[in-house]
Structure 1
């Protein structure tokens, strides 16, 4: 009798969470429908494209090619690569291509700043641009990238974000990762559409230099290994006179390479999650519910042995996600297929549960550096525009 009560209680909890999840997807769908690409402002401010690099010899030449063949007037932008202690030939390859437009700097150390944020700050304080535009060396930007990102700025715009999509290759894991990453991007884009942005990607992010210094740059968030994008967005969102917008066009989107293997994929997701504990309280509650929801999915999979009807719960999740992706993937010039989607679902159910715990209490490494609790342990960072 007691066992039947527990079974019925579990099914009620599963059903309630499934209903909440479907409502959540409907809200995201509404946010995505609100996204628009603003008309070109026809203003052409000077732009500084900043690219921190660490051991990127495999991708650096292609990155330079994409950045130097932009439709934006060449005299209106500069490209600044910041070498972050590369041990391969990255420095030499960039050095060969330097000219009046393309510069190479060595990253400086700033107390309280993790290595990537220190590299970005090195580039920002050396830049001439009114607009800072960041990307990664393993990204491919279309010729229209700078022009489209800049076109979305108005006098009251502090920050512009846009699509970052993973390029599929011959490996099945890349198809799974592409869908998993697309899910994050769609959630972030929908939040912009709902006027509650909290998620962005530094591989494709533009902001006014004046807004960067107005929020004291990476002050208070600099010790985290990641967060040069979403945590900075959340700081700029608090500025009352400024707006943060999303460039809803793949003319502003960039394509990035998939991780080489499952281990690298896991470490990347761990790094992304490591700073989530300092998100705004409303987002923390959302994260806790998402964690509980995926825990229910995991439990329901185990309960299939005893309660065959429990399979309805994961099937509802997969079906809801399929229709959500089917309706919105084309916004990022992507498509969705059932088998990779099921693979992405299974992988996500597992890694979200593990990472939810590990990211706050465990250790991880990224590009040869070790992080504890998501942080680089350094002294307090005294921020100054003139450091």
Structure 2
């Protein structure tokens, strides 16, 4: 080890970083499994009286999916006199307005409001649409669903029953599943990814640290909480992560309720997937930069882990993988020589096994998902889907810093529906 060159130090740095992230995710997966076991005895304990809830659905050119979403929300298993549905039809140029109006005519007895914005009042992204909606909402609690969602009938009721019983909660979140998972291999990968995210990043962090983040759909906020926060940050294109951080900074908690389930449509083409995920990366980097500068203000003990976790994923892990890949390729062509006395093949095989083990643990927590076909898909994901994330992360980072340098406002990309 005495004759190590600079390339060897770079390689060691990347190796340690990659393994550290893998081990953290294994710990989170195990913690998520503990959370899963604790929730196996979930009881549907109904309230004697339910509070009034306002359901907000921001929608921009969602004609292909908005009809099914609205009807599923109107038919939720929740007292009809204690809920209102508000759809913010945000500067749509398709037939969304007509579809919504026809549904309103078919359901005259339901408390259903349509807000049609134009290019002056709307068309500025999801955060702006949500701000417009909650300002006219009457509910003690605010529920949010994306325009492509089909929630299960009990989804809202489970969330409300949880938040009403715990005054420390500023928000409660449910689970989202992939509605079109059988469409192609991409949607099958996304299905596995979303399940992993929710049982590792959500349940694992909740069990280990009492921490989880709002996923963007199928969640409920206290009205007092959103009013104290002054609404959603219109500059944030990952508004869910951003508002989660602010909830924790003000001293409130967020709880994950996996029994509350909604089904959503995921991207069916690589191009749409890349655009959506790039927006996620740019949005999360915005949140990271915003809160790193204020890390020691307010109650940051819970937020601190997520800040470090985001930094590790988007900067440390990404940098390490890129460095190790470059050095590996250069060594194949004998352009550099690695002098570290490790068996790299054994290390790589171990990391591959860890990846499969980690994701397989999460699949075992979902009925019908832990089959052999999905386990084989996990093995394939390592070489394909996971590598695509590197491209997305680099693209998102470049886009964020390019916008910052040129002082451009981040543009909202609406996921194309099918």
TM-score, with structure 1 as normaliser: 0.82
The unaligned stretches of length 5 or more in structure 2 are 292-306, 401-405, 413-418
In the alignment, the residues of structure 2 paired with residue 348 and residue 317 of structure 1 have an alpha-carbon distance, to the nearest angstrom, of 16
1:25 aligns with 2:25: yes
Q: Which moved more, 1:312-321 or 1:260-269?
A: 312-321
Q: How many angstroms does 1:171 deviate by?
A: 0.9
Instruction: Indicate how the Cα distance of structure 1 residues 203 and 301 shifts in structure 2: closer, same or farther if over 3 A, else same.
Output: farther
Offset at residue 126 of structure 1 (A)? 1.0
Instruction: Identify which of 357, 360, 367 aligns with 2:394.
Output: 357
1:113-262 alignment, distance < 5 Å:
114-153=124-163, 154-167=166-179, 168-186=181-199, 187-195=201-209, 197=211, 199-218=213-232, 221-224=233-236, 226-240=237-251, 242-249=252-259, 252-262=260-270
Cα distance in 1 for partners of 2:101, 2:195 equals: 34
**Residue 302 in 1 paired to residue 315 in 2?**
no
Which of 115, 121, 124 in structure 2 is aligned with 1:105? 115
Tell me the C-alpha RMSD between the 2 structures: 3.3
Alpha-carbon distance change, 30 to 169 in structure 1, aligned in 2, over 3 angstroms: closer
- State the alpha-carbon separation in 1 of the partners of residues 245 and 120 from structure 2: 22
Q: Between Structure 1 and Structure 2, whose CA radius of gyration is higher?
A: 2
- Aligned-pair CA distance for 1:345: 2.3
What is the CA–CA distance in structure 2 between the aligned matches of 1:236 and 1:352, rounded to whole Å? 28
- Partner of residue 341, structure 1: 378
With over 3 angstroms needed to count, the CA separation of the structure-2 counterparts of 1:106 and 1:3, relative to structure 1, is: farther
Q: What corresponds to 1:270 in structure 2? A: 278
Q: Deviations over 1:84-125 (max 9, x none)?
A: 111211111111112342221124789999421111111111
How has the CA–CA distance of structure 1 residues 262 and 184 changed in structure 2, closer, same or farther, with 3 Å as cutoff?
same
User: Is the Cα contact below 8 Å between 1:83 and 1:104 reproduced in 2?
Assistant: yes
Name 1:318's counterpart in structure 2.
352
Structure 1: distance between partners of 2:356 and 2:324: 16
CA distance in 2, matches of 1:321, 1:235: 32
Q: Which structure 2 residues correspond to residues 364-375 of structure 1 after superposition, within 5 A? A: 375=410
Counting helix residues as a fraction of each chain, which structure ranks higher?
2
* Distance in 2, Cα, partners of 1:111 & 1:68: 26
Rounded to whole Å, the distance in 2 between the matches of 1:213 and 1:233 is 14
Distance in 2 separating the partners of 1:182 and 1:66: 23
Are positions 1:92 and 2:98 aligned together? yes
Task: Please tell me whether the aligned partners of residues 195 and 362 of structure 2 are also in contact (alpha carbons under 8 angstroms).
Answer: no
Aligned to 1:285: 311
1:131 to 1:332, Cα distance in 2 relative to 1, 3 A: farther
* Length-normalised TM-score, structure 2: 0.76
Pair 1:66 & 2:68 matched? no
CA drift at 1:71:
1.4
Stretch moving more, 351-360 or 68-77: 351-360
- In 1, distance between residues paired with 2:154 and 2:378? 30
